[in-house]
Amino acid sequence: MSRSTRIILAVMAIALFMCCVAGLGVALLGTRLVGRAVITDPDRVATVSSQIADFQIPPGYEQMFASNVAGVKMVTLSPADPQAGFMVIMLLQLPAPTGSNQKEMERQMARALTQQTGAGSADLEVTGQEQVTIKGETVALTVRDGTTQDGQTLHQVSGLFPGQGGPTLLVITGLTEDWDQPAVDRFVASIR
């Protein structure tokens, strides 16, 4: 093996080693940041929740986790008993209004949250709209229905309302067979 070939191989080995070290560093940093972004401590989850809106947790539900990153706050509620079925309630609050069109912002936020719930593979289509009262104001909830790639049918309602510190998107997604309309109604009515 010639001297220049050995030098090239040594440089490539050093570069590969540096890439591995950098990749490991990025992976560890990413894990650390994700670990900090997802809040599971019940007291801290309750704190983030109260910064978004005051509400009562429906009977049989619990606050799963929260997030508070760069002024964007999120809290997720689901049945306390995993055997109870799949219906997730999410509240996502943005910082001060960004001047975006409300319908466009709602569409983008609902799409992002749908993907996070695992329903991202579902083809949800708007099937209606219902009017509810949140914090004394009429809020239009968009109703969507669809089917996952597994053939399960999903139901979703979403709408934007003024939260404690900015526009807040309410998204409730669940399997049609597990849909708990009384819990949805109680939750929406409890938002203050």
Question: What are the tokens at 54?
Answer: 């005051």
As averages over each run of 10 residues, the pLDDT of the chain (192 residues) reads: 42 40 44 62 94 94 91 91 86 72 60 53 86 94 91 92 90 92 94 94
| pTM over the 0.75 mark | no
Q: What is the pLDDT of residue 83?
A: 81
Please report, for the chain, the start and end positions of each structural domain, with discontinuous segments joined by +. 1-38, 40-190
The confidence score (pLDDT) of residue 86 equals: 84
- CATH no. for 40-190: 3.40.1000.10
Task: Please give the span between the terminal C-alpha atoms of the chain, in angstroms, as a whole number.
Answer: 76
pLDDT of residue 146: 93
Mapped onto helix, strand or coil, the DSSP state of residue 47 is: helix
SS3 content of the chain, % helix, strand, coil (to 5): 40, 35, 25
- Amino acid at residue number 102: Q
